[in-house]
Chains A and B, each alone.
Chain A
């Protein structure tokens, strides 16, 4: 049950794109078509799964002072592996994603989950967390890209939709349309989301903690209470 909750939190309550607002750049860039969004989602999920498992497995041997470089090397390795595999086996999606595929290395979701979750939890829990976050990321991209492709291009997965092809809203395929759809989806999730995500950080991790001594609004625990 705990594993299921761990998995499901990434999809709804802590959705990385629509709640945590991470990975905004690829979200806006690749959601012009559903197939691109699916490719990016799958690639990011694979990287998340690989990096979370590897980092969790090595969490006790990686010294604190080199943890970020270590995480980046591991993440970059998985991104390169995914990139090479996509180039070899799905060249059309590889070409469509272009530079955004390489930029998964600097996607906040990947490093964020490594730092906040995988480095503190078991391999199994980290894998489930990665899958939940990856699926949540993919679903958010699919939702956004579906709206943008259906109404912006009159098609879905490249299949033309009768009637809508004649009444497209081209701006939805452009950057302003992307921001508009992104904003609407965030608003919807805020409106209908049942609860706020639990914060996984406290004053202990804040560089200004020694100066403010929790006076900025209390410790993390106090704020949540």
Chain B
């Protein structure tokens, strides 16, 4: 029996060794040819994206250029630049390579896809970049395509950055709408999904000073543009009670008077969202316990509401945090009870696929995962919580736990200050 096993190991190991040698020999022969062909295709693509070019001169990449930029080629005739790009490996196993032609006015004149092992069907998405400058106004990420549009957009942004760095083109001017949209995404991370997209729906608000308003799709708050004494400001309101104002240069504005704030908060109906979250928070209580909503001052993550627990058995430092992070696609709803710096209860609620409902990941099921959360402190919220292959996004659970602890810290610091003041 032992001999059989040894023989199996030796034979299979030998086969693998011979195969590895064979493949390395073939790779040694074919790799230069493949590389040469790829180079020829890239050169060919330079002429495709800048057809009027008289000849190309390779420009040295400036310091700090992203690795997605594989080459910058300047037309000797002065019609512009052709930049060869390969998307980052963090988005897909094999890189997507393409060449972008830039005119002297800093706008994209053409895009040529040169290679991508996983698909040849890129649809119309790449062509939507033609005519765009470095502001990339109106360029959205594409859904339902068999490649990463995030990777594509990031590579194009890197190309613009490299060309601006060498002084080849000037920076594009962002439209006000674009500035506002980016500002909202930047200042309200709780409403940004896994792909980096700010997910919100425009809503009507019956208030005099509100220019436009958006409600986050995961219900964590609102982003508005308001007219405050003739100045246009971006206002972020989380359902947990935090309110912040920014000017269009992303500077915080803390001089807005409270009556103005109250008027907006009541107009958009923040309290209705709190009523909804109260139901989820109440499900975490045991007999004899009650909840009271507490406002957070500076939380714009995925915590949609916080409640303090009044209980005969718990300490006064017990809170329920209702969190609504984006899962793989849609928002999830989950509650964390944090008491004296550690999680005492975590549960998933709302409508989403539960762990193990369709298939189980070895060593993971919903109950076990939820129970394992008990006792975790802020320091325990690490990548160890991430589980590959689970039917819900454990990255969303981790994000929610991090934000819940942030909110907990804010509340306990306030309480400590109050105690110290007494």
Which A positions have Cβ atoms within 8 angstroms of B?
58, 61-63, 65-66, 69-70, 73-74, 76-77, 80-81, 84-85, 87-89, 91, 95-96, 98-99
Residue B19, interface by CB 8 Å: yes
Given contact pairs A61-B11, A91-B37, A96-B120, a sample of 14 additional A-B residue pairs in the complex whose CB atoms are under 8 Å apart: A63-B11, A69-B12, A77-B23, A80-B26, A81-B23, A81-B26, A84-B26, A84-B27, A87-B34, A88-B33, A88-B37, A95-B115, A95-B120, A99-B118
Q: Which A residues are in CB contact (< 8 Å) with B207?
A: none
Per the bound structure, the CA–CA distance linking A95 and B119 in Å amounts to: 9
Shortest CB-to-CB span from A119 to chain B, Å, is 14
Distance in angstroms between the alpha carbons of A87 and B34 in the assembled complex: 7
Work out how many contacts link A and B, with CB atoms closer than 8 A: 57
A189 to B11, CA, bound (A): 42
Given A98-B117, A98-B119, A98-B120, answer yes or no on A85-B26 (Cβ-Cβ < 8 Å): yes
State whether B23 touches A74 (Cβ < 8 A).
no
Q: Are A70 and B12 in contact (CB under 8 A)?
A: yes
Q: Tell me the nearest residue of chain B to A50, going by C-beta.
A: B22
Q: Determine the residue in chain B with the shortest Cβ distance to A98.
A: B120
A66 to B16, CA, bound (A): 12
Residues of A within 8 Å of B7, CB to CB, are 63
| A66 in complex: contacting residue of B12, B30, B33, B118, CB < 8 Å | B12
Residues of B within 8 Å of A58, CB to CB, are 15
Total contacting residues, chain B, CB less than 8 A = 22
User: A95 contacts which chain B residues (CB < 8 A)?
Assistant: 115, 120
- B249 interfacial contact with A, CB 8 Å: no
Q: When A81-B23, A84-B27, A88-B37 are in contact, do A74 and B119 touch as well, CB less than 8 Å?
A: no
Q: Does B104 contact A (CB under 8 A)?
A: no
Cα of A77 to Cα of B117 in the assembled complex, Å:
19
Q: B residues bordering A, Cβ < 8 Å?
A: 4, 7-8, 11-12, 15-16, 19, 22-23, 26-27, 29-30, 33-34, 37, 115, 117-120
- In the complex, what residue of chain B is closest to A101 when comparing beta carbons? B117
Choose from B4, B22, B23, B27 the contact partner of A63 (Cβ within 8 Å): B4
B30 nearest CB neighbor, chain A only: A88
Chain B residues near A77 (CB-CB < 8 A): 19, 22-23
Q: Report whether A85 and B118 are in contact in the complex, using a CB–CB cutoff of 8 Å.
A: no
Nearest chain A CB to B365 CB, angstrom units: 31
Q: A88-B34, A89-B33, A99-B118 are in contact. Are A66 and B26 (CB under 8 A)?
A: no
Instruction: Jot down 24 A-B pairs with beta carbons below 8 A, ordered by A.
Output: A58-B15, A61-B11, A63-B7, A65-B4, A66-B8, A66-B12, A69-B12, A70-B12, A73-B12, A73-B15, A74-B15, A74-B19, A76-B19, A80-B23, A80-B26, A84-B23, A84-B34, A85-B30, A87-B30, A88-B29, A88-B30, A88-B34, A89-B33, A95-B115
Most B CB within 10 A of own CB, among A61, A80, A87, A88: A88
- In the docked arrangement, what's the CA distance between A89 and B32, Å? 11
